[in-house]
Chain A
């Protein structure tokens, strides 16, 4: 096999993908991790992680660096900030094209593409990013001292951040598309009791306007369709996360929420293709659950490869009859290792 062939290719280097990498590389699988963004995934968005067992408190950045170093130390190859341009999973050798030019092949694939924050996708949003439009209240809140701002969203993070932004802002308007909120009742009560917070229900921002920086937004009422203009200098978009599975549409089976459908071994609808972490169908999305999924997917992928190798080694095909005992033994050693790891 050529240099670009790997036993397993992991797509995504968040906690799920990196953990899979650790288990695979320790299991002597030649492993490649391909990541479109920053290594660490959503972990690097987290200032402080206090619920990862064994570590009292750690910044997401440090935890990501440590897990990455662990994966590298066992021999994983990690390529980050790449762009996946083509995926072909139907044949027994799967292929992944990167940046429109390099192709990597693998016997098995683990999809660990996680999730990303939703954007509004309306005119002006990208243009005013960093000039009034923000996705992180803890990062940018202090730029809005005594300003009138908007928080878009109706979930827990929107409510928590709206309350925390009242430390700086003159007023905070929560703009929400529905007539009810998804946040916890106590978070709603806290926001409703805050004199700086007001609410605009059943409304959506349809456009961001300004010259050098954000000056106003267009807001449409969802029932009357009436559009009003509101002068604001800051808008925090906190409308939750969605699975990063756009590139997997039509390639593996997804559910109606675009989450990857998996079985108990975390195998997708395609043999040899596994999925782990926030991008799969599941209820709870945490670092601990992503790490657990990464472990299961890696062990399942190793089982798949080793079973396949053992099967083809024991079938009396022309090639296998010619195999020497010494050529078979590494496969069998790996197989035992997998069972030991279980």
Chain B
């Protein structure tokens, strides 16, 4: 279980529903590890200021994690977490491994205009 205050996507159904109900979605798929935690923390901090974006996490090793692991955009990734940004259900950006608050903010601002 990922211990964050973000929305937990615990099933494929919930993942699909989240993409359907939200125009802009950021999903961080990882473990409770040192490269993933800073990304979750940044997401928690950005959440109040980016109300037009849904921030969610997903357990990398769960069967649901397959929806992120099997994306063509993550096929060359080999560093946790896999972070994927969706607009209208389509992948607009994906990153592998730890990202700083600045890097995440730049991606949000350029892909999900307010």
- Given the interface contacts A39-B41, A134-B97, does A213 sit within 8 Å of B35 by beta carbon? no
Are A130's CB and B37's CB within 8 A? Answer: no
CB B87 to nearest CB in A, in angstroms, measures 22
Q: Count residues of chain A with CB under 8 A from any CB of chain B.
A: 32
Residues on B with beta carbons closer than 8 Å to the beta carbon of A46: 34
- Given the interface contacts A38-B37, A61-B32, A81-B101, does A140 sit within 8 Å of B76 by beta carbon? no
CB A282 to nearest CB in B, in angstroms, measures 23
Is A131 among interface residues, defined by CB-CB distance under 8 A? Answer: yes
CB A65 to nearest CB in B, in angstroms, measures 8
Is B63 among interface residues, defined by CB-CB distance under 8 A? Answer: no
A62 to B32, CA, bound (A): 10
Are A139's CB and B35's CB within 8 A? Answer: yes
Is A167 among interface residues, defined by CB-CB distance under 8 A? Answer: no
Q: Is the interface of A mostly helix, strand, loop or mixed?
A: loop
- Given the interface contacts A81-B101, A132-B78, A140-B79, does A44 sit within 8 Å of B45 by beta carbon? no
A60 to B3, CA, bound (A): 13
Residues on A with beta carbons closer than 8 Å to the beta carbon of B96: 129-131
Q: Across the interface, name the chain A residue whose C-beta is closest to B104.
A: A81
CB B98 to nearest CB in A, in angstroms, measures 8
Are B79's CB and A134's CB within 8 A? Answer: yes
Is B93 among interface residues, defined by CB-CB distance under 8 A? Answer: no
Are B42's CB and A213's CB within 8 A? Answer: no
A45 to B37, CA, bound (A): 8
Q: Across the interface, name the chain A residue whose C-beta is closest to B33.
A: A139
Report the tally of A-B residue pairs with Cβ distances under 8 A.
77
Are B79's CB and A44's CB within 8 A? Answer: no
Are A139's CB and B34's CB within 8 A? Answer: yes
Is A136 among interface residues, defined by CB-CB distance under 8 A? Answer: yes
Are B31's CB and A139's CB within 8 A? Answer: yes
Q: Mark B24-48, 1 if CB is under 8 A from A, else 0.
A: 0000000111111110011001000
Residues on B with beta carbons closer than 8 Å to the beta carbon of A124: none
- Given the interface contacts A61-B3, A130-B97, does A80 sit within 8 Å of B37 by beta carbon? no
Is A212 among interface residues, defined by CB-CB distance under 8 A? Answer: yes
Is A57 among interface residues, defined by CB-CB distance under 8 A? Answer: no
Are A83's CB and B78's CB within 8 A? Answer: no
Residues on A with beta carbons closer than 8 Å to the beta carbon of B36: 139
Residues on B with beta carbons closer than 8 Å to the beta carbon of A80: 41, 45
Are B35's CB and A234's CB within 8 A? Answer: no
Residues on B with beta carbons closer than 8 Å to the beta carbon of A132: 78
Residues on B with beta carbons closer than 8 Å to the beta carbon of A38: 37-38, 41-42
CB A15 to nearest CB in B, in angstroms, measures 15
Is A143 among interface residues, defined by CB-CB distance under 8 A? Answer: yes
Binding site for A on B (CB under 8 A): 3, 31-38, 41-42, 45, 76-80, 95-98, 100-102
Binding site for B on A (CB under 8 A): 37-40, 44-47, 59-62, 80-81, 83, 129-136, 138-140, 143-144, 212-213, 233-234
10 more CB-based (< 8 A) A-B contacts, given A62-B3, A134-B78, A212-B76? A38-B38, A61-B3, A129-B98, A130-B77, A130-B79, A131-B96, A139-B31, A139-B35, A139-B36, A234-B78
18 contacts between A and B (CB under 8 A): A38-B37, A38-B38, A45-B34, A61-B32, A81-B41, A129-B96, A130-B78, A130-B98, A133-B79, A134-B78, A134-B79, A139-B79, A140-B78, A140-B97, A143-B79, A144-B78, A213-B76, A233-B78
